[in-house]
Structure formats: C-alpha cells, structure tokens
Structure 1
C-alpha cells in the first residue's frame, strides 16, 4: 500500500536531509545580529519538538545583557581549564581547540530543563531521563531550523550547572543543560570540527546498527 500521499515532494525531502547532513556544531561566528523574526521562527521550531507525555520541559533564556554574557563566558572558560587538567596527555591538544563562540555570536541562549512534571507518566517511571531527552529534541529542532535559515549554532556544555542556574536566578528544580551560540557565519565546516581537528573520527553507521542482539550486525 503506497503512502505517497503523505510524502513531501522530492525537493522538500532533499531539503530536510540536507539540513540534517550539513548541520554543524559551530564555534566561529560573525557579530551581526540575528533578525528577531527569524529568531522567533527558530524558537517556535524548538517548541514543536516532541516531548514525552507532552511535558514540554524546556525553557529558553535569551541573554541580552553584555555583562551577563561576559560572566557566562568566564564560567565556561574556567570549566575549559578544569577539563584540560583532567585530559592529562591530551591537555595541550584540548586547549588548542576552540570550544565556544559566546562572545562572538549574534544571539546567546541558555536551554534549561524544568522539573516538576509527573514522575511516572509515559515512560518516566522506568526512564526518568526522558524529560532531558525532550529538551534535547527541542534543541535539535532549533539547530536544524537554524541551518535551514543559514545560521550557525554551537552547543556549549562546559559549565557548572549549579553555578549557571544561580547566576540566571533559576528556581529550584530548573537546570541549565546547554549554552547555545547562535548567529551568522562565514562558512559552515565541511565536516564536524572535531574531525577536522583530528580530535575524533566519525564512526560509520554500520558499526552502530545491530539486528536483534547486541553487536549482531
């Protein structure tokens, strides 16, 4: 039975797959502002993300105060140094990597997880982390929409969640999970930046898909 009536057109399908394949975790930005209308479209795309039990546990904080952006950057840089110390043999290699574009991007967002939903609904009884998975889905929606709009986005995770929550005056139960750098770029990386820098290699799909049993290709 054909489902062609539900398919997008060929051009539309190719556009979706192109956004997925060409999405990059960006670190280099231009200082140009992001059009507020475009930003609203991106946030709406994030808000259309799937969430378990329709809990919609995401909250997005738009950082517009320059001094607050500076403090977030300092917090991330402090954690970058701590992470480098833990790298041991790869410490200097890690320090050479550009890991964020907080001071350069046109828009800075913080994505947070808001607790307080039912603990035992739609899978949370056995998989309580599904609320975090829902936030990640919202971020991915925003990321793909940004790529389609020609904007870069970088996910920064080098920060102390408790310290950032305190800085942003988050209520009890709220937890920041991502600092998102969003903005115009000169060009998108032709491959993931960590692969270009020789830090890690992209594993082929066939190594990560099994049939019926673990490690059964």
Structure 2
C-alpha cells in the first residue's frame, strides 16, 4: 500500500525534477519537427498536463502556420495499435465552413441539435479529429475499429497539451451530429469523427477544475483493493 503524496503540489513537482540534457533533447525530438521552436523539456509536457483547461472564448488572432504544424506533429507522435496511426485531421479555417460545423453541434443533455455551440466559430481553427477505422481493422479485424478510436484519443490529448505549452487554448467538443458533419466535409463512411477541437488564443480566465482523489480511482492488484490509504 502506498501513502498518497500531495498531487496538487505543482511547485513541489517542479522543484523535484532533475535535469538530463541528453534525455531532454531526445524528448523534444519526439514531439516536434522544429526543436528550436519548442520550450525546454522542463516546460513541456509536465506543466501543460496540470495547466491545461478547456476554454471557449477566443480572440480573432490567427495561429501561425508553423505553430499549427507543431500541434499536428505532436498529435502524430501518439502511440497506436500496431503503429497503424489511424488518426486524420481536417483543419477548418474558413468562416463559412466553421458556421456549418457549428450548426451540427449541440450542448447540454438531450438537446437534439437545437442548442448550437456558437463559440466554436470564434476559434482561429477548428480541427476535426477523425479516425480511419479501416486502417487498423485491416490488421486486427473488427476489434481494430474500437482500438483505432482509442488511439486517436491519445493523439488528441497530445495536440491539446502542445497547444497549452505554446500559449494556445482549446476544447474537446463531443456534442456533435457526426453524420451531418461527415456529409458537409465529405468524410467517407469508414472514417469516424472523435471530436471537434476549436483552437486559438483565448481571452478567458479559467483554472483547471478539481479532480477526484487518487485513492478513489486507483486499485492495488485487484479491483476495490486500495492502492493509496
């Protein structure tokens, strides 16, 4: 049994980290193509994990192409079943096309598409995160379709953490009419949408929301056997 440390002590985490120059450069190379534009290993990705928060208010400031490339490159560094890399990303920056996307969203429970998330159109870009289920299923059969969705979720997290590290903000939007968006963007049947990612510069002040204590969500060798006392 393990005694839980104060997992919210971000400063303590930072002070306890040890530098490793060679490992630092290897980590940077894994995440982005242009190492010089990334923050040092001490600034990424650990702080981004604890600082990331969903934001829904954006300025009109565009995202530099090289910064957008960093986001997408980081997403593609996620692990995947058999290294099949099923993720695909559609970058939407045309105002009219963003409005089409908005009309295929909804918020709240059982809103049936009538409560659009208008704020999405204010983001510099809306990235439609997709999963090419055929790619993974070709190797693993029907079960591969589900694994492909999980793999793409890992890619989305990479993208959102990188956005945070670069001073951008975003939100993972799952309240969508998938079929309507697929028709609008001419997405083939074998590609699923895992979510919308509005990304941009935010004017919203928001702090990370609280999380359940570790002892509520961890188990030791068997379910319902506490790992932390």
TM-score when normalising by structure 1: 0.77
Distance 1:5 1:14, change over 3 A: closer
Q: Higher relative contact order by CA 8 Å / sep ≥ 6: 1 or 2?
A: 1
User: Which of 49, 64, 67 lines up with 1:20 in the alignment?
Assistant: 49
1:145 equivalent to 2:162? Answer: yes
- Aligned mates of 2:172, 2:124 — CA distance in 1: 14
User: Which of 137, 156, 161 lines up with 2:178 in the alignment?
Assistant: 161
Distance 1:13 1:127, change over 3 A: farther
Distance 1:159 1:204, change over 3 A: same
- Unaligned 5+ residue runs, structure 1? 86-94, 193-200
- Aligned mates of 2:218, 2:118 — CA distance in 1: 31
Look up the SS of the partner of 1:61 in the other structure.
Answer: strand
1:206 equivalent to 2:223? Answer: no
User: Which of 43, 61, 71 lines up with 1:32 in the alignment?
Assistant: 61
Residue in structure 2 matched with residue 114 of structure 1 by the alignment:
132
Look up the SS of the partner of 1:212 in the other structure.
Answer: coil
Structure 1 residues 63-74: aligned runs within 5 Å: 63-74=92-103
Distance 1:47 1:188, change over 3 A: farther
- Unaligned 5+ residue runs, structure 2? 1-19, 26-39
Look up the SS of the partner of 1:175 in the other structure.
Answer: strand
- Aligned mates of 1:144, 1:171 — CA distance in 2: 29
Does the 8 A contact of 2:93 with 2:124 survive in 1?
A: no
- Quote the RMSD (CA, aligned, Å): 2.7
- Aligned mates of 2:191, 2:47 — CA distance in 1: 34
Does the 8 A contact of 2:104 with 2:178 survive in 1?
A: no
- 1:13-70 deviation per Cα after TM superposition (whole angstroms, max 9, x unaligned): 4642111100112212111101111001111111111111111111100112222111
Look up the SS of the partner of 1:41 in the other structure.
Answer: helix
Distance 1:14 1:206, change over 3 A: farther
Q: CA deviation at 1:117?
A: 2.5
Residue in structure 2 matched with residue 91 of structure 1 by the alignment:
none
Q: CA deviation at 1:106?
A: 1.0
Q: CA deviation at 1:177?
A: 1.3
Moved over 2 A (4+): 4-9, 11-16, 79-85, 98-101, 117-122, 124-128
Residue in structure 1 matched with residue 33 of structure 2 by the alignment:
none
- Aligned mates of 2:153, 2:95 — CA distance in 1: 27
